[in-house]
């Protein structure tokens, strides 16, 4: 991982799925932010590829409109012009072996000449996952995947990377037959979030945490990724995926590994990823009995959020009215290694929770001996570090302090660090760093094949048992609540409780 953002290498970004939502909401605004801050090379261009036939001019006009909408205050006209002058589009049928791909090839050649760009290309697959293998294959077959004369070719794949262990393995095997691992960038947008990257700095850039970051001091860890939104028009995809597949083997496991990993020997991509994969390998596999006990699923019913009535999941567009798909998942994980033996990691994620809130809580053990016998139990504090990932980015240290007055009374207090207060507002989509890293060839924040496969292998037994034993009580939580009651029981039976964000 580079310490300073320099200027990216001259290159062309080829976006498959250029007329889609991801491109306009995230990719263009992110590129625009990079350009605005001077991080893109002068010799940079974009070639958008979509199914629709369209002239480059029309594509540019649409892009300018989208930038106004999605790049917020960054709508700087000069930069928008600069952007337009290097954006091109070609459309056609992705299944057509010849026409579209030879058009892309011709266009790349012309754009390289026009903008004096060496043949460095990165192909962004912002397309449905079932097309990944096919499109990558066609790019390679048309000679666009070969790294010749010192030029590089890279491929970014969006999630979901596979639907389960088998499909992820097949996709990896397929890609690795046509490309080298170092050309493959499996994106997980959680790694583009500042607070997620800060986990590495917080843990390994400070000396005070390391001595206590282990089973001797930590009681347990809680990771919550709660969303207030429902499925937002993505019912068709979501109903075949569910909360576990959608969030756990990717985003949440990134948070688990960065929280639990050993210090890497360097911040080189493989050094960091080696340590992350060791954590995944140490997660105790779920037997069917343990999966039934320690994996909780839920589905939201209609309810109220912020005073507004919202429909139940089964009433959402493109969702089966009898759907058995979970919109909430909670797991208790055991990481069987020296650092974390007997320290449970409770993770949960769900849609239609009372508020949008993601955090990692490091809950420390109680003080060994309670000196303050007079203090009511609710005021006897334990220490915890809360790492707030979104929407408010920051870190809170929770501890006990004396309440002023003649008596020795203890109260719970917080010490807060808030990103915006210290560093000011940074407009970011989370994709800036990831796109930039791809352009400089740094894969630290991307998933390696073994990470993806190990992650799927952890959740597979749970998916299997869930499909073998359909839920009997869905829907089992009203929208606007923190999930089903059994999720609370997952912790209460261990004498613990979820720490919910204020609503
Ligand atoms: C995506 C999931 O990967 O992440 C969505 O498919 C989810 O279902 C989204 O809403 C959450 O991302 P963020 O950045 O809003 O937490």
SS3 (DSSP) at 141: helix
CA distance 143 to 363: 53
22, 157, 189, 225, best to mutate for ligand 1 pocket (most atoms within 8 Å of CB) = 189
**CA 77 / ligand 1 centre spacing (Å):** 30
To which residue do tokens 């890279």 refer? 154
**CA 227 / ligand 1 centre spacing (Å):** 8
245, 247, 388, best to mutate for ligand 1 pocket (most atoms within 8 Å of CB) = 247
Going by alpha carbons, the residue nearest to atom 15 of ligand 1 is 227
10 Å Cβ neighbour count for 126? 22
Give the number of the atom of ligand 1 that is nearest the alpha carbon of residue 430. Answer: 14
Q: How many residues are there in the chain?
A: 503
Give the number of the atom of ligand 1 that is nearest the alpha carbon of residue 241. Answer: 6
Instruction: Out of 251, 357, 388, 398, pick the active-site residue.
Output: 251
**CA 417 / ligand 1 centre spacing (Å):** 25
Give the number of the atom of ligand 1 that is nearest the alpha carbon of residue 190. Answer: 14
Going by alpha carbons, the residue nearest to atom 10 of ligand 1 is 227
Closest to 297 in 3D by CA, of 427, 476, 160 = 476
223, 251, 349, best to mutate for ligand 1 pocket (most atoms within 8 Å of CB) = 251
Annotated catalytic residue 39: no
Going by alpha carbons, the residue nearest to atom 13 of ligand 1 is 190
**CA 212 / ligand 1 centre spacing (Å):** 32
Going by alpha carbons, the residue nearest to atom 2 of ligand 1 is 246
**CA 121 / ligand 1 centre spacing (Å):** 28
162, 193, 227, 429, best to mutate for ligand 1 pocket (most atoms within 8 Å of CB) = 227
pLDDT tens by residue, the chain, 503 residues: 555 557 899 999 999 999 999 999 999 999 998 998 889 999 999 999 999 999 999 999 999 888 888 876 555 778 888 888 999 999 999 888 788 999 999 999 999 999 999 999 999 999 999 999 999 999 999 999 989 889 999 999 998 899 999 999 999 999 999 999 999 999 999 999 988 989 999 999 999 999 999 999 999 999 999 999 999 888 999 999 999 999 999 999 999 999 999 999 998 999 999 999 999 999 999 999 999 999 999 999 999 998 999 999 999 999 999 999 999 999 999 999 999 999 999 999 999 999 999 999 999 998 876 666 666 666 667 899 999 999 989 999 999 888 898 887 788 899 999 999 998 877 788 899 999 999 999 999 999 999 999 999 999 999 999 999 999 999 999 999 999 999 999 999 999 999 999 88
Give the number of the atom of ligand 1 that is nearest the alpha carbon of residue 358. Answer: 16
Give the number of the atom of ligand 1 that is nearest the alpha carbon of residue 246. Answer: 6
pLDDT at residue 425, as a whole number: 79
Q: Which helix (H) or strand (E) holds 460?
A: helix 449-468
Instruction: Look at strands 11-16 and 153-157 and give their pairing.
Output: unpaired
Give the number of the atom of ligand 1 that is nearest the alpha carbon of residue 237. Answer: 6
Q: Which residues line ligand 1 (CB under 6 A)?
A: 159, 189, 227, 246
Instruction: Look at strands 394-403 and 384-390 and give their pairing.
Output: antiparallel
**CA 226 / ligand 1 centre spacing (Å):** 10
**CA 438 / ligand 1 centre spacing (Å):** 21
Going by alpha carbons, the residue nearest to atom 4 of ligand 1 is 247
Going by alpha carbons, the residue nearest to atom 6 of ligand 1 is 246
pLDDT at residue 228, as a whole number: 96
Dig out the tokens for 80 from the structure.
Answer: 């928008």
- State CA 72 to chain mean position distance: 22
Buried b (16+ CB within 10 A) or exposed e, 25-39: bbbbbbbbbbbbeeb
**CA 503 / ligand 1 centre spacing (Å):** 20
CA dihedral 239→245→248→251, nearest 10 degrees, is -90
Give backbone dihedrals phi and psi of 335, rounded to 5 degrees, phi first: -105, 110
Model pTM? 0.94
Do the beta carbons of residue 403 and residue 207 sit within 8 Å? no
Give the number of the atom of ligand 1 that is nearest the alpha carbon of residue 189. Answer: 14
Q: Which residues contact 254 (CB under 8 A, 6 or more apart)?
A: 188, 190, 191, 196, 276
């Amino acid at each position: 991982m580079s310490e300073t953002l320099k200027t990216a290498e001259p290159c062309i970004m080829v976006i498959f799925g250029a007329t889609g939502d991801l491109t306009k909401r995230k990719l263009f605004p992110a590129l625009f932010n990079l350009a605005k801050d001077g991080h893109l090379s002068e010799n940079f261009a974009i070639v958008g590829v979509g199914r629709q036939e369209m002239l480059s001019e029309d594509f540019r006009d649409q892009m300018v409109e989208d930038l106004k909408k999605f790049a917020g205050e960054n709508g700087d006209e000069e930069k928008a012009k600069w952007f337009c002058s290097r954006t091109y589009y070609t459309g056609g049928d992705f299944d057509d072996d010849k026409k579209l791909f030879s058009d892309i090839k011709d266009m790349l050649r012309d754009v390289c000449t026009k903008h004096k760009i060496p043949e460095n290309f990165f192909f962004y697959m912002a397309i449905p996952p079932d097309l990944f293998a096919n499109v990558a294959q066609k790019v390679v077959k048309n000679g666009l995947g070969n790294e010749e004369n010192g030029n590089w070719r890279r491929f970014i794949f969006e999630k979901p990377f596979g639907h389960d262990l088998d499909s992820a393995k097949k996709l990896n095997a397929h890609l690795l037959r046509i490309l080298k691992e170092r050309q493959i960038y499996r994106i997980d947008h959680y790694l583009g979030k500042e607070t997620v990257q800060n986990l590495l700095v917080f843990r390994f850039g400070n000396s005070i945490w390391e001595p206590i970051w282990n089973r001797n001091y930590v009681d347990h860890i809680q990771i919550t990724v709660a969303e207030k939104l429902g499925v937002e028009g993505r019912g068709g995809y979501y109903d075949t995926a569910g909360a576990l597949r959608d969030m756990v083997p990717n985003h949440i496991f990134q948070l688990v590994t960065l929280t639990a990993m050993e210090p890497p020997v360097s911040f080189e991509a493989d050094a960091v990823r080696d340590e992350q994969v060791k954590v995944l390998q140490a997660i105790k596999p779920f037997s069917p009995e343990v999966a039934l006990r320690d994996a909780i699923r839920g589905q939201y019913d209609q309810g109220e959020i912020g005073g507004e009535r919202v429909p139940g999941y089964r009433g959402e567009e493109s969702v089966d009215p009898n759907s058995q798909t979970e919109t909430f998942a909670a797991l208790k994980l055991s990481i069987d290694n020296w650092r974390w033996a007997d320290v449970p990691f409770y993770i949960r994620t769900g849609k239609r929770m009372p508020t949008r809130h993601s955090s990692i809580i490091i809950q420390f053990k109680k003080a060994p001996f309670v000196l303050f016998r007079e203090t009511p139990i609710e005021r006897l504090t334990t220490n915890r570090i809360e790492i707030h990932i979104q929407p408010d980015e920051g870190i809170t240290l929770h501890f006990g302090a004396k309440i002023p007055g003649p008596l020795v009374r203890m109260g719970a207090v917080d010490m807060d660090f808030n990103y915006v207060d210290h560093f000011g507002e940074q407009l970011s989509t989370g994709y800036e760093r990831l796109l930039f890293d791809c352009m400089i060839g740094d894969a630290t924040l991307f998933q390696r094949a073994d990470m993806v496969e190990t992650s799927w292998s952890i959740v597979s037994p749970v998916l299997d048992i869930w499909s073998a034993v359909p839920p009997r009580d869905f829907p089992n939580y009203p929208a606007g609540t923190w999930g089903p009651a059994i999720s609370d029981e997952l912790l209460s039976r261990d004498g613990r409780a979820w720490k919910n964000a204020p609503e």
